[in-house]
Amino acid sequence: MSKSKLLAVALLVGVSTPALAEFPERPLQVVVPYSAGGSTDLGMRVVADTIERKFDGVRVVVRNQPGGGGGIGTSAVAHARPDGYTLGAGAQGPIAILPHVGGADYTVDDFEFVGLFARSLQVMVACKDAPFSDYDGFVEYAKNKMPQVGNSGAGGANHVSAEAFAKAAGIKITSVPFGGSSEARTACIGGHIDAMVASPAEAKAASEAGQMTPLFVMEDERIDLFPDTPTAVEKGVDFTWSSYKGLIAPKGIPEADLAWLRDAVKAVAEDPQFIEKMTEMGEFVTYEDGPTFEARVKKDSKMAEEVLSDLGLLGMNK
C-alpha cells in the first residue's frame, strides 16, 4: 500500500500514525575491523565523505573496532540488528579466510553484500639475488626446487594467495611467514627469501630501486603500472587474486533499505572525486554490485578453505 493510502486510512479510522520517512532516517554506522589509519579505514572514510556529499542530509559515522585479525569488528556486524543502520567494511581476510582459520563466530553466509568499491592488487616479485627473474624462470625453478616465498603471517591473505597460485600452477613453494608485510619486504630486499607477494605500489618502488623484480600480476589482464609484466592467466594458469574493500551488512535487512545502500555504493564508485582520491591512495577503484561481490567472496572462501586444508591449517586458531 502506498504512503498516501496509508495516511488516508489512518485519517478515516481516526488513528494517529507516525511520519513515514525515507531510509535512512538517522546516521549510518560503518564498522571498520581495523585500527584507524590503515588502508581499509582510510578508504571507508572516503566512502563516508562521498555519501554525505552526494546524498543531502545523510550522515555516515565510521567506527573502528580492531582485534582478532579483523574478526571482532566483522563479528559485530554479523550480529548487529538487521535494520540497515549498522554496516561493515567488507575485507577479504576477516570474511573469506578467518572463518576457516578459526576464531570467528560467523561464516560468509551471515552477511548481505552491499557492493564492492575498490581492490588492492597483488604482484609476485623476485627478491634480491633470486635464481629467476621472470614468470617462466620462476615456474621452471619451482618444478625442481621449492622457492622460499615470504608472507606477512601464516594463514594470511598473501600466504593463501601464494599457495593458491602454486596449487593452480602445479608447483611447490616453501612459504616463509613473517610478523607483518614490512618484515617480509625487508627480508626480500636483503635477499633472504626468493620471492614474495607485494602490492603494485611497493613492487614499483622496489623494482625501480633494483630491489625486486615483478614476475606476474594476479589479475585477468596486465595493469598500467606494469605493462610488461604478464598475468598468470595469459601464461595458461587460471588464477587471479586481490584483496578488496566493500560494504557488508547483517543478513536480513529490509530489501528496500538494501536497495538504497546498493545504489549508494554504485554512485560512490562512479564519482570522479572519489575515483581520484582513491587512486591517489594507491587503490584500484572497481565497482561490483552485491551479487557479484558475494560471488567473489565465496570463490575466495572456497579457495582459502582448500589451501588451508592442504597446509593443515584449518581451524588452527580454535
253-272: pLDDT as tens digits: 999 999 999 999 999 999 99
- Dist CA 279 CA 268 (whole Å): 14
Looking at residue 19, its pLDDT comes to: 36
Residue 131, amino acid: P
Mean pLDDT of the chain: 91
Please give the share of the chain, as a percent, with pLDDT higher than 70: 93
Q: How confident is the model at residue 200 (pLDDT cuts 50, 70, 90)?
A: confident
**pLDDT score of 15 more than 50:** no
215 Cβ contact list (under 8 Å, min separation 6):
123, 124, 125, 126, 132, 134, 135, 138, 195, 229
3 state SS of 87: strand
211 or 314: which carries more pLDDT confidence? 211
- Residue extents of the structural domains in the chain: 25-119+242-310, 123-217
C-alpha to C-alpha distances, 182 to 160, 163, 284, nearest whole angstrom: 18, 20, 21
Phi, psi of 255 (to 5 degrees): -60, -40
In the numeric block, the cell 615470504 is attached to 150
Q: What is the pLDDT of residue 316?
A: 75
Cα–Cα distance, 150 to 162 (Å, whole number):
9
User: Between 1.10.510.10, 3.40.190.10, 3.40.1080.10, 3.50.50.60, what CATH number should domain 123-217 receive?
Assistant: 3.40.190.10
- Rounded to 10°, the helix 255-269/39-54 angle is 100
How would CATH label the architecture of 25-119+242-310?
Answer: 3-Layer(aba) Sandwich (3.40)
Confidence band for 34, pLDDT divided at 50, 70 and 90:
very high
Paired with 235 in beta bridges are none
pLDDT in tens, 110-137: 999 999 999 989 999 999 999 999 999 9
CA dist 35 and 229 (Å) reads 34
What confidence tens digit (pLDDT) does each residue in 268-287 have? 999 999 999 999 888 899 99
Confidence of residue 9 (pLDDT cuts 50, 70, 90): very low
Residue 39 has pLDDT above 90, yes or no: no
Which residue matches cell numbers 630491489?
211
CB 171 within 8 A of CB 125: no
What pLDDT was estimated at residue 134? 97
pTM of this structure = 0.84
